[in-house]
Amino acid sequence: MPILHPAFTILFVMLILFSFQEVYSNEDKKSSFPIWVIAIVMIVLAGLRGNVGADYPIYRSFYNLYFPTLDYSDVVDKMLMRKSDLDIEWMYVLLNKFVFAFGGPFQSFTFVSACLTLGFKLWTFKKDSAYPVFSALLLFIPGYFIADSGHMRQALGMAVCILSYQFIKERKLFWYLLCIYIAYGFHKSASIFLPAYWLVLIPLNANRIFYAIVACVILSPFQIYNLFAGFLGSLNLQEVSNGYNGYIGYEDKASSFMDGTVILYSFLLIMYDKAASQRVWYYEYIRNIMVVGVCLYFIFRDNPVFSTRLVGVYIGFGSLLIPNIIYGMEKISTKRFWHFFFVAFMIFYYFVFASFQGLAGRFTPDTYMNFLWSY
């Protein structure tokens, strides 16, 4: 039976145990200690990895050979959206050049990247999830491996979008737009999150959510996204190397699995909308973001790249949505049932991911390397 490296397996077990402690505890105020322990471990395993992740070799080559040759004027032109020969997002180049200027090897950059992507996400979980470690567990597979330990440009862009949720809540438009601009500077696909600031204000209830999702399911076979082919093509969703193709197979094989996951999200959004809205602060904002993600997923379903990577920033809020829905449930027995269900689901997902992607991504016991112990 395929498994991931023992370090990941131990981390996975820690996430499960701490999540049980959160859900089964009677205290409303949770200790910060577990989530920060988890944060340190996740950052070390992703940030100090060696030759792990589909795009690692090409990113390393760019860091050592290409980015140092670029002039800052080219970066500024790209930043100001002037004509530029630079074909990679300016913020990603700037971060690479900044770390390189201190003389650090490539693992210094992967560590900084992991600190930012995981730091922003886990800090948001700490502030906005009723069960932060449970949120981290839901993030773990596959997002932690495919994004935070793989496609670093998009992971950085998505992390800044998740961070921008604080300014959505506080209705601080300038700071929100600044976050989206920075996220766009890491990966163009972040631009799809721009409307979220206003979408969270749309009044929804269970019936409206149901009809919106059904409408998008009906529209799915018609591939209406082709009407926006020019704009979508400009987002450059393919990564900088053919390493991304290592994940395409996984995404194709897992499409039915993803369908089931999104249908499950839809069920919970509809069934428990009223209870969660009454008991969880700002639940409506997270709910609306997720409803948009579910709808976009079905619209883009026939395209495995669009339905996973373009919609990812919206669907990524599922790690906030599920714990908050469970927290909002009135009966303790119902809370514990759904928590146990998702723990079992993640255990199943662990073996699915290990089978389809563990070796290709180099996350297995024989292939994973970390600079703490492998060099």
Domain span at residue 277? 6-356
Please, where are the H alpha helices in 25-71? 33-47, 56-61
**Do the domain assignments include residue 362?**
no
Q: Give me Rg for the CA atoms of the chain.
A: 20
Contact 78, 94 (CB under 8 A): no
**Do the domain assignments include residue 365?**
no
Residues 6+ apart with CB under 8 A from 230: none
Q: Could you give the CA distance from residue 258 to residue 264 in angstroms, rounded to a whole number?
A: 10
Q: Could you give the CA distance from residue 245 to residue 243 in angstroms, rounded to a whole number?
A: 5
Q: Could you give the CA distance from residue 289 to residue 166 in angstroms, rounded to a whole number?
A: 13
**Do the domain assignments include residue 223?**
yes
Q: Could you give the CA distance from residue 76 to residue 134 in angstroms, rounded to a whole number?
A: 41
Is residue 246 very low, low, confident or very high in pLDDT (cuts 50, 70, 90)? very low
**Do the domain assignments include residue 361?**
no
Question: Does 306 score more than 80 pLDDT?
Answer: no
Report pLDDT digits (tens) over 176-227: 999 999 999 999 989 999 999 999 999 999 999 999 999 999 998 888 877 7
On the CB side of 28, how many CA atoms lie within 13 Å of its CA? 3
**Do the domain assignments include residue 371?**
no
Of the candidates 214, 198, 374, 210, the one whose C-alpha atom is nearest the C-alpha of residue 289 is 198
Tell me what pLDDT residue 243 has: 43
Report pLDDT digits (tens) over 133-178: 999 999 999 899 999 998 899 999 999 999 999 999 999 999 999 9
Q: Which residue has the tokens 């369908």?
A: 259
**Do the domain assignments include residue 363?**
no
* Structural domain count, the chain: 1
| Overall average pLDDT of the 117-133 stretch | 96
Question: Does 352 score more than 50 pLDDT?
Answer: yes
Report pLDDT digits (tens) over 25-51: 876 667 789 999 999 999 999 999 999
Report pLDDT digits (tens) over 282-303: 999 999 999 999 999 999 888 8
